[in-house]
Structure 1
Amino acid sequence: METYRLYYPNDFDLQLEPVALAIGFFDGLHLGHKEVIEKMIEIADEKNLKKAVMTFDPHPSVVLNPKARRTTYLTPLLEKEKMLEEKGIDYLFVVNFSSDFAALSPDTFVNEYLIKHNVKEVIAGFDFSYGQYGKGSITTLKTYDEFNTTKVLPFTEDNEKISTTKIRELLLSDQLEEANELLGREYEINGVVVQGEKRGRTIGFRTANIEPNGPYLLPSLGVYAVTMTIGTDDTIYRGVASIGKKPTFHDDYKVTIEVHLIDFDRTIYGEEVTVYLHNFLRGEKKFDGLDDLIEAMTKDKENAVKLLEKYNE
């Protein structure tokens, strides 16, 4: 997959082969986004076009609504790029969403960012908007003769539209399993194993401290049943993750991700890992002492083993 970062003014003349383009922010690549992208792939295959996706960076709210700006993501850009490449996408356009870009007229956007790059098919969600004040819509896209436009209707669950906003709300309110249903997969966080306080090994629960590879939205503070992969190894390891501020040991501390892997005793500092969150076990709690903490962690481990039984080799 070729990735092109586009800015305003758009000085690139990429000389691309004819393209079918799915367009949207696509944070999370959830089931609703999957509908748009799979429709693009279907059209591209039918008409022998290159498969392309256009996304934006940063989130438009950073420019358009600073009071409610979104600076954490379900799929930070690098993760989104990796997932799209796995879908067989040929071109990824990452458009810098700046103040100047946001001020473009709808027609300028279409000419400079779509027609200029040989887009022959545009596929977008029913509520896609573009151009200054969001004046452009699916309806206005359909007025252009240079390409065809396909509108994808909302994908719903229990008569409610699946959206990134809804999934974020679920993750932040202890409803991980419901969020995973709307994602169509387990919520995942990629990162690197870094040095921690090394307290876990002294109480029989050695942990890997994970530094996320990007501005991930972290779910509500608590304990989770997880699986984890290490580097390019496909082996799936079961474990328990604590996402929180370690209140038993600190009055005020940064949020950390610590994963205790079951039946695992390797040193993996510096390794890139992916943590898959399967089940929410309990909220974060400050314990009166180590004995209470160890008792709770033992129970968490037992619960995780039961929930992750299908991953037992």
Structure 2
Amino acid sequence: MWITSSLTNVLTPTAVALGNFDGVHRGHRRVIEPIVSQTPSTPRATVVTFQPHPQEFFSGQPRTLLTPGAEKVQLLKAMGVEQLVLLPFDEKLAKLSPREFVEEILLDRLQAVQISVGEDFRFGRDRMGTAADLEAIAQPYGVRVHIIPLQKRHYERISSSAIREALLQGDISEANSRLGRAYSLVGQVITGQQLGRTIGFPTANLLLPPQKFLPRLGVYAARVTTETDNTPMAAAVNIGHRPTVGADGVPTVEVHILDWGGDLYGKTLTVSLEQFLRPEQKFASLTQLKAQIAADCAAVRTCYREVGAIIPT
């Protein structure tokens, strides 16, 4: 997939899906589908998004993401997206009127021949432009605009905000249902304190992108795959500060793959969360911690007899 943040080297003409797409959830995919369900002779399937997120630009505060850059790229590639354009969101772009944005950016620079947006899409100065405005501006140029209805679950709009809230509550089932996939943590295995192997439960310590959004702290049942093997393996995952051993500061992600003892250092793991097991807690001794981890692993086994991950015997 061609990725660019410069309008001077965009591959044109394009069929554009326009939005922020953090999470690439079920609603986002419905917006992207019209541009990738084309024949090979049609314009290049292009997702156009903004960098940084407009909310981060206006607030001046860093924003955590459900899908940081590399993770979003992989999800879009899997959908058949051929090009990702990261429009630099700056004061100049923020001041464009809706008509200027459509005519200068989408039509002139991107040479869009069709555009897909959600029905709640807003754009241009002060978010004045609506999806209907986009259609009206583009129509005289012969550009088709797909306006995709909002996708809902339990009569509520599927949104990145709702997914974040579910994750903060530890409601993984609800978050995954809105995503249309398991919420994943993707990172490289780094050297940790190696305490786990001394009590019989070796863990892989995962280094995540600093802007990755973390769910509720605690222990999860998860499926784990590596960059070289897509066979899912069952794992108990701890996300937290490890209070029993006196750790603090930035939360860590520790992955214990059941009944597996290979070398994972330096490898990239995808950890797909399936069920919240319990909140993080402090134990009076390592013996109590060890007993609880054993109970967590038993809970993981029970979970994965239902969903079919590989549990070596």
The two structures have a TM-score, normalised by structure 2, of 0.92
Task: Give the letter for the 1:189 counterpart.
Answer: L
| Aligned pair partner of 2:150 in 132, 154, 158 | 154
Q: Could you tell me how far 1:211 is from its partner in structure 2?
A: 0.2
Aligned to 1:97: 89
Q: Could you tell me how far 1:251 is from its partner in structure 2?
A: 5.9
Deviations 1:8-51 (A, max 9, x none): xx5x164613x221110001011111111113333x44983321
Pick closer, same or farther for the CA change 1:196–1:299 going to 2, 3 Å. same
| 1:104-143 alignment runs, 5 A limit | 104-116=96-108, 117-143=110-136
| 1:69-218 alignment runs, 5 A limit | 69=61, 71-116=63-108, 117-143=110-136, 144=138, 145-146=140-141, 147-213=143-209, 215-218=211-214
Task: Give the letter for the 1:40 counterpart.
Answer: I
Aligned to 2:5: 5
Deviations 1:56-84 (A, max 9, x none): 11111112234xx4611111111111111
CA distance in 2, matches of 1:223, 1:204: 17
- In structure 2, the gaps of 5 or more residues are none
Q: Give % identity.
A: 34
Runs of 4+, deviation exceeding 4 Å = none
| Aligned pair partner of 1:246 in 242, 245, 258 | 242
CA distance in 2, matches of 1:91, 1:137: 24
Residues 98, 134 of structure 2: 8 Å contact kept: no
Residues 191, 272 of structure 1: 8 Å contact kept: yes
Deviations 1:187-234 (A, max 9, x none): 011100000011111111100000014521011100000111122222
CA distance in 2, matches of 1:13, 1:106: 23
Aligned to 2:17: 22
| Aligned pair partner of 1:52 in 43, 46, 51 | 46
Task: Give the letter for the 1:232 counterpart.
Answer: T
How many residues in Structure 1 have an aligned counterpart in Structure 2? Answer: 305
Greater CA drift, 218-227 or 206-215: 206-215
* 1:197 aligned counterpart, secondary structure: coil
Q: Could you tell me how far 1:262 is from its partner in structure 2?
A: 0.6
CA distance in 2, matches of 1:136, 1:71: 24
Aligned to 2:304: 308
Aligned to 1:266: 262
CA distance in 2, matches of 1:13, 1:270: 34
* 2:228 aligned counterpart, secondary structure: coil
| 1:34-49 alignment runs, 5 A limit | 34-42=29-37, 44-45=38-39, 48-49=42-43
- In structure 1, the gaps of 5 or more residues are none
CA distance in 2, matches of 1:25, 1:274: 23
Residues 61, 70 of structure 1: 8 Å contact kept: no
